[in-house]
Amino acid sequence: MERPHSLGAVAVDPSEGRIVCRAEEYAHLPVSMRKDAMVIEMTGERLEAALLGRHPA
């Protein structure tokens, strides 16, 4: 089984201030941003689910 590519980035939804990132980036966020951050596996499917509030298939 091929593993999906992972995006090494922090995504911010400006309309809601939602922050989404991998565990690797979480440690580098300013402390004030960490409480609102959602740590996920950064694949297209997981990122879309996190930003749109959907459960991935």
pLDDT in tens, 17-40: 889 999 999 988 999 989 889 999
Quote the CA–CA distance of 24 and 6 in Å, as a whole number. 12
Task: Give 2's Cβ-side CA count (13 Å radius).
Answer: 2
Instruction: Return the pLDDT at 39.
Output: 94
The pLDDT of residue 54 is above 90: no
pTM of this structure: 0.69
For the sheet containing 37-39, what is the strand order? Answer: 10-13, 18-21, 37-39
In the chain, what percentage of residues exceed pLDDT 90? Answer: 19
